[in-house]
Structure 1
Amino acid sequence: MDVNATVFFNGILDYFSVQRFMSYELATVICKIDMSCAVISLPVACLTLLVMSIERYHAVAIIQFRSVELSTVGDNVAVRIPDVDRAKGDHRNLIAVVLERTAEGYYRLGTSAGILKSLYSIAQFESCEKHFMSLNDVYKNNQVSLRQAATFVSVGKGQGVFHRNCKRNCSSKICKCRASMVLCNSRCHQSMPCTNKG
């Protein structure tokens, strides 16, 4: 991450310090409220709302500004695939091509599985230096979710992990894992007794 400037705010944020860095496209914000800490990447234009919410909680915020190149049509980008949408052996990122940039600053992305249904902000993907696919490689007749696109490029059958919240001992088909003929795992229920763990 190319950090051009770091501004420390304690309690009340200095609005003019934020205005000084409005030329940057993206800010990585580390908000520390009590003992919890959150790291957020967001467009700098959203910082004014963040200023008000942090002032309300008297939080300590560290705001790092970085310059980001805006992606153009045809650029390759890497979209992070959430853990619940991919199998353990699959890639963490999905390679996509920028199809268009909307007037609001969001991007429509295309993959070999189809066009992604959601629009993405520049904070949700990273630009690739090399070109892995072109606009011609995008299957434009199909709209898919990120999970469906991840399943399409998966080395296996996709996600492969069931997130269930079993309340009993999984002895009947009420347990969705048993009904699917899949063994329960630690993500289903961590401390409950289970007869479907194999």
Structure 2
Amino acid sequence: MCNICNNSKTIEAQQLSAFAGQKRQADQMVAATKKMLPNVDVGECVLINIDKVDRSPGDPQNLITVVTDIKNGVYQVDTVGCIIKSWLNRPDIKKATAGFITLDQINKNKFISVREAVSLESLFKGQGYVKCSCQPSKTQCKSKRCQCFKANMQCNSRCHKSGPCANK
């Protein structure tokens, strides 16, 4: 056998060995994750950890939900008010210690994002980052064109600074 053929066979054997090692490592990681995170069944109450960017300082850190569907290892969860749009992986949810919500309490009509669900659960109407861009005048901000008026909020210093406004 020539030197080039021998080198190519050695390279091919090492590539196959590396692929097998990567596959073995991935299987070990999946097995370790399954050990740490037990299965969650449909109807179980789970908590979703909410990132700081999706909530205000006074909002809850976790959202209480119920698992309603499982497909391909991802979970669809619902809150009392509506269905969460996105499907979640197992590491994104944790089992609740008690059954706060049951499947009977779920409203199956409306799909919303996690951020919208947090603002519904919030005592303070979510992050509160509504800001209009109306031109400052005495008659502005009294129609549904104004973001603040539409959200049933008063205009604040972020909207017009110290300019006149009819919705202050």
Instruction: Write out the 4+ residue segments of structure 1 that deviate beyond 6 Å after TM superposition.
Output: none
Q: Distance in 1 between matches of 2:161 and 2:39?
A: 50
Runs of 5+ consecutive residues of structure 1 not aligned to the other structure: 1-11, 27-65, 164-169, 174-178, 185-194
Tell me what 2:156 maps to.
Answer: 182
Higher helix fraction: Structure 1 or Structure 2? 2
One-letter identity of the residue aligned with 2:157:
L
Tell me what 1:116 maps to.
Answer: 84
Tell me what 2:37 maps to.
Answer: 68
Distance 1:81 1:182, change over 3 A: farther
Higher strand fraction: Structure 1 or Structure 2? 1
| Aligned length in residues | 128
Distance 1:182 1:131, change over 3 A: same
Runs of 5+ consecutive residues of structure 2 not aligned to the other structure: 1-17, 137-146, 149-154, 163-168
CA RMSD of aligned residues (A): 3.3
1:30-63, Cα deviation, whole Å (9 max, x unpaired)? xxxxxxxxxxxxxxxxxxxxxxxxxxxxxxxxxx
Q: Distance in 1 between matches of 2:115 and 2:93?
A: 15
Distance 1:85 1:23, change over 3 A: closer
Distance 1:82 1:21, change over 3 A: closer
TM-score (norm 1): 0.53
TM-score (norm 2): 0.62
Determine which of 70, 73, 90 is the counterpart of 1:101: 70
1:112 Cα deviation after fit: 0.9
Q: Is the 8 A contact 2:79 2:106 kept in 1?
A: yes
Does residue 126 of the first structure (1) align with residue 98 of the second (2)?
A: no
Tell me what 1:151 maps to.
Answer: 119
1:23 Cα deviation after fit: 2.0
Distance 1:20 1:120, change over 3 A: closer
